[in-house]
């Protein structure tokens, strides 16, 4: 598929959805749901007041710190546990117990420990990212073909060389998929956390606009921004798939 066609198809589809949105709003008898034009005016209003950039930066700041903290701790731990069977057997039951617990269930505890502010939101994002990244790293190690490891050992590679030349390149494709999924989860959690635990960000904007005179144009504007930023984050993460060292693990779509 040509690059122009790849861009044209989703653009036409989004334009069709906006047109259907406008038609649906124009035919309804209520004025609760805003149309695309009103949402655009709401974004412009937020931009003029300086809130748009401030709230977007606040949300990205929390996601960045929470996700990076989980990345630098969960991935090494997951690789270590996946490589050492005894460690995996010791920690896996605990991981499986905590993994089904929603990060949002930790909101009261986060507020109790850290109060209302950025630290609580970052803590929740860290929790939402740590376990999925750990499991992804563990599974990536376990999915390595034993023949590759045995061949490396037969060629006389040391333990550190096996890890650097075989383990790391082999786990990267699956690990990148885990990073993409986890980053999306982090973006969901920060929006939910901002509705309760902080007083800024896109999640807070939704609640604040709802309480300030039912400004549903600003509510939908925040929702659109959340979706667009989430798409951009995923596109940026997918760029990792084009790296020469991991491209072998992905098929061209």
Task: Please write the tens of the pLDDT for every residue from 30-73.
Answer: 677 788 888 888 889 888 888 889 999 999 999 999 999 999 99
Checking if the pLDDT of 209 tops 70, the result is yes
DSSP state of 193: H
**What pLDDT, on a 0 to 100 scale, did the predictor assign at position 215?**
82
Instruction: Give backbone dihedrals phi and psi of 247, rounded to 5 degrees, phi first.
Output: -65, -30
Residue 6 lies in a domain: no
More confident position, 111 or 2 = 111
Structure tokens at 216: 């549903």
143 three-state secondary structure? coil
**Cα distance between residue 99 and residue 138, in whole Å:** 14
Task: Residue count of the chain, please give it.
Answer: 253
Q: Does residue 159 fall inside a structural domain?
A: yes
Helices 107-114 & 118-142, crossing angle to 10 degrees? 120
What average pLDDT does range 126-134 have in this prediction?
Answer: 92
**In terms of pLDDT, which residue wins out, 212 or 174?**
174
Higher pLDDT, 224 or 250: 224
| Mean pLDDT on 105-128 | 88
Domain presence at residue 87: yes
Residue 253 has pLDDT above 60, yes or no: no
Q: Which two tokens stand for residue 20?
A: 């259907």
Does 9 map to a domain? Answer: no
pLDDT at 147 over 60: yes
pLDDT at 18 over 90: no
User: What confidence score (pLDDT) does residue 247 get?
Assistant: 57
Query: CA separation (Å) from 181 to 11, 31, 100, 117, 129?
Result: 24, 36, 16, 26, 9
Residue with the two structure tokens 């990792």: 240
Is 106 a residue whose pLDDT tops 70? yes
d(Cα 203, Cα 206) in Å, to the nearest integer? 5
Rg (CA), the chain: 22
CATH of the domain at 61: 1.10.3720.10
Q: How much of the chain, in percent, has pLDDT values that exceed 70?
A: 89
Mean pLDDT of the chain: 83
**Where is pLDDT greater, at 150 or 123?**
123
The distance between the two most distant Cα atoms of the chain, rounded to a whole number of Å, is 76
Which of 39-48, 80-89, 210-219, 223-232 has the weakest average pLDDT?
210-219
193 in any annotated domain: yes
Domain that holds residue 231: 36-249
Per-residue pLDDT at 20 exceeds 90: no
pLDDT tens track for 148-190: 777 777 777 776 777 677 777 778 888 888 888 899 889 988 8
What is the pLDDT, as a whole number, of residue 5?
A: 65
Asked, for residue 11, whether it belongs to a domain, the answer is no
CB proximity list for 166: less than 8 A, separation 6 or greater:
144, 148, 149, 152, 157
Residue 112: inside a domain: yes
Asked if residue 163 belongs to a domain, the reply is yes
- Structure tokens that stand for 98 in this block: 């905590």
User: Environment class of residue 250 by beta-carbon count within 10 Å: exposed (0-12), middle (13-18) or buried (19+)?
Assistant: middle
When divided into structural domains, the chain yields a total of: 1
Contact 201, 62 (CB under 8 A): yes
User: Which pLDDT score, from 0 to 100, does residue 69 have?
Assistant: 94
Residue scoring higher pLDDT (248 or 10): 10
Angle between helices 216-238 and 202-211 (to 10 degrees): 170
**CA dist., res. 183 & res. 14, Å (int):** 23
Q: What is the pLDDT of residue 65?
A: 93
Report the percentage of the chain scoring pLDDT > 90.
13
Joined tokens for residue 187: 């973006």
Dihedral sign of CA atoms 22, 28, 32, 33 in order? negative
Nearest to 167 by CA among 188, 148, 189, 139: 148
CA distance 64 to 41: 29
Looking at per-residue pLDDT, the higher value among 221 and 9 belongs to 221
């Amino acid at each position: 598929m040509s690059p122009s066609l790849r861009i044209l198809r989703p653009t036409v589809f989004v334009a069709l959805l906006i047109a259907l949105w406008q038609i649906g709003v124009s035919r309804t008898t209520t004025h609760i749901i805003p149309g695309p034009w009103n949402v655009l005016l709401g974004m412009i209003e937020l931009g003029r007041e300086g809130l748009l950039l401030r709230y977007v930066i606040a949300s990205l700041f929390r996601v960045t710190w929470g996700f990076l903290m989980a990345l630098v701790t969960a991935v090494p731990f997951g690789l270590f546990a996946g490589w050492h069977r005894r460690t995996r057997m010791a920690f896996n039951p605990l991981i499986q117990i905590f993994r089904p617990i929603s990060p949002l269930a930790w909101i009261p505890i986060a507020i109790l420990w850290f109060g209302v502010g950025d630290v609580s939101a970052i803590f929740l994002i860290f929790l939402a990212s740590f376990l999925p990244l750990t499991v992804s790293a563990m599974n990536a190690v376990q999915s390595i073909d034993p023949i590759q490891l045995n061949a490396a050992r037969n060629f006389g590679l040391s333990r550190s060389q096996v890890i650097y030349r075989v383990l790391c390149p082999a786990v990267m494709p699956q690990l990148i998929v885990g990073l993409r999924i986890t980053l999306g989860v982090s973006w969901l959690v920060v929006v939910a956390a901002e509705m309760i635990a902080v007083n800024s960000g896109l999640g807070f904007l939704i609640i604040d606009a709802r309480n300030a005179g039912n400004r549903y144009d600003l509510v939908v504007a925040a929702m659109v921004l959340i979706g667009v930023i989430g798409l951009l984050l995923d596109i940026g993460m997918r760029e990792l798939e084009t790296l020469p060292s991991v491209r072998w693990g992905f098929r061209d779509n």
